[in-house]
Chain A
């Protein structure tokens, strides 16, 4: 029997080796090595310069990548959580993201007592945390409402559900434009974290590290929840086999509702972080739906690990391509995102950690 197991191991190892020899995999490796070599040595004449000449710029860009990846992870984790369990693609995720941002802005204005030109020094930690929870809470409740009213009864009809959430997106975007206007607004970071520190002679904002810390906290809590609690266990079981969970007498509808609540809450947390980081305006919903989609397409729908990996890859491309493309081509940064997507899909059509539905 051990022999059989060993031979199976050998077989899978051989499979893996042959998989590595596939032309698409070779192409990906070549592209990755070329990109790394370009950034490290040859990137003269780019805004940042080659990494060996200017390690400070390189380090700052790398920090940008990781911190932005943190925000991406928060925004995409709720999306992927909902899909993993319910097979529902919640296209209203971006709308929930933007709604939470707007609500947080309003709450913060009320708490600070001024509606514009809020100085970070006037913003205590509570003046930021309470809006965060309020915004995310509103998003969570609205998400739960959408699930209960529009998605509960047509479970399993993926395309219908997707189109329903798309229609909700259109309505919500229009209503938010009516309610909150078309100007860009932002949540102000608390004064306690608004500092700069220097790294290799470059100034760097502490707020980005604060954002990363929150993202890591969210990730760890989510992981603990999914792996260490009984609800998390049910959710993971549901991802693998919904019918079986149902057959064991667990009320999966309640688990669905809870998952949607948590997923929408995460969208809201992402929205408030995003609005503190880059502001909120009409159109933010669409661009963050895009970000969440890119992350989960790269990482694989329904996988938390995939969301983390996808965020890191996408964050890296977003941060590095404007800095390390030749100056006259920095407009083309968006094409690099597309290139990343094409590369990943060429090797794994369902994303890095995904599997066919």
Chain B
């Protein structure tokens, strides 16, 4: 009963949040909706793929921004007809969307297959190498981009007004959130979590460990590609610098701020990041202590450092801890034996499975 109550509560909160998000354009300024919230949804969607891989697959990936970028570059290459750079295939925008997603998914499958036998730190390092090599590929191969990137990319007519882009981001975010949560309970998702917890046992039970990891990576790559498409429509351009090592780390940092083992944390982290990014300069006195807009990365770095030192589960982890403490106090006041759920200590494994 208790469990069911809590679940409906969480669902109600989720539905309420979505409702607020739907009504937001009539509540907030256009700048807040089209700049802050759209960016939050795009970055959150991309960061959610990191969380998905870390939470259910035990793989902390730094290659998600590469997938994000591949989709953007491929759309630009396919959709433009007479741009300054790129292939200029001049396809119909929706054909270009299909092409971009196809290339991204195939790339994710191949890269995931190569990385599928490594886990933990090795996986993190290998995906970082993917990300940086991907940056060099787009920066050096002038046929598909070159250092200047691809500019003046138009979005499809359907998404013309900025507000529709916001709704597209909202729709995809909700779908991705529900989808990732649904995957958790499918046979594939259960096997994936088994692979995360004990690959050797899963292998001896007859599961194909490498294939599960590869497919999870492919799925995450596809969703990151969707976010990448939104991003390239929102920006109207894409250049290799936007997928270099700095932004790659920032995306991981967004996932870490929110809490790398909570899906909703991805959007929370993105929201905090965009807020800091947008409004830091407006804070009074902040430039008095030497923090200007240019020192933005220092602020973000220090925030992450503090989060990792205090609570590796990020903001949602801090929230949960506070709530648990509150509930314990309430329970202690109400009755000595409360039907409290078991303490959840899963982060260590979800963060990549460290063993002494």
Contact = CB atoms under 8 A, between A and B. Distances in A.
B136 A334 contact: yes
B356 interface: yes
Interface stretch (A35-43, A232-240, A266-274, A287-295): A287-295
A341 interface: yes
Nearest to B60: A159
Contact of A170 (B114, B115, B249): B249
B297 A174 contact: yes
A159 B304 contact: no
B305 A159 contact: no
B104 to A, nearest CB: 17
A178 B356 CA distance: 40
B269 interface: no
A124 B4 CA distance: 78
A173 B297 CA distance: 9
B256 A163 contact: yes
Contact of A346 (B60, B114, B120, B305): B114
A170 B301 contact: yes
Highest count of chain A CB atoms <10 Å: which of B297, B301, B348: B301
Contacts of A45: none
A175 B309 CA distance: 20
A156 interface: yes
Interface in A130-180: 150, 156-160, 162-164, 166-171, 173-175, 178
A12 B237 CA distance: 57
Given A286-B245, A345-B114, A89 B129 contact: no
Contact of A334 (B114, B133, B305): B133
B127 to A, nearest CB: 10
A174 B301 contact: yes
B348 A167 contact: no
Given A166-B252, A331-B141, A350-B118, A297 B126 contact: yes
B125 A159 contact: no
B301 A331 contact: no
B249 A345 contact: no
Contacts of B354: 156-159
B142 A331 contact: yes
A296 B128 CA distance: 13
Nearest to A333: B140
A167 B304 contact: yes
A357 B348 CA distance: 16
A146 to B, nearest CB: 11
A166 B60 CA distance: 13
Interface in B264-316: 294-298, 300-302, 304-305, 308-309, 312
A339 to B, nearest CB: 10
B121 A89 contact: yes
Contacts of B308: 160, 163-164, 167
A338 B133 contact: yes
B118 A345 contact: yes
A173 B247 CA distance: 13
Contact of B121 (A162, A169, A283, A332): A162
Nearest to A294: B129
Contacts of A69: none
B108 to A, nearest CB: 15
Contact of B301 (A162, A171, A345): A171
A287 B136 CA distance: 10
B249 A166 contact: yes
Nearest to A285: B245
B72 to A, nearest CB: 19
Interface in B78-131: 114-115, 117-118, 120-122, 124-126, 128-129
Contacts of B124: 89, 159, 162
A290 B258 CA distance: 27
Contact of B117 (A168, A174, A345): A345
B65 interface: no
A290 B249 CA distance: 13
Contacts of B246: 170, 173, 286
20 contacts: A89-B124, A158-B352, A159-B352, A162-B121, A162-B124, A170-B253, A175-B298, A283-B244, A286-B132, A286-B244, A286-B245, A287-B132, A289-B245, A293-B128, A293-B129, A297-B129, A301-B122, A333-B140, A335-B137, A357-B121
Given A166-B249, A167-B305, A175-B298, 6 more contacts: A159-B352, A174-B298, A286-B245, A293-B125, A334-B136, A337-B133
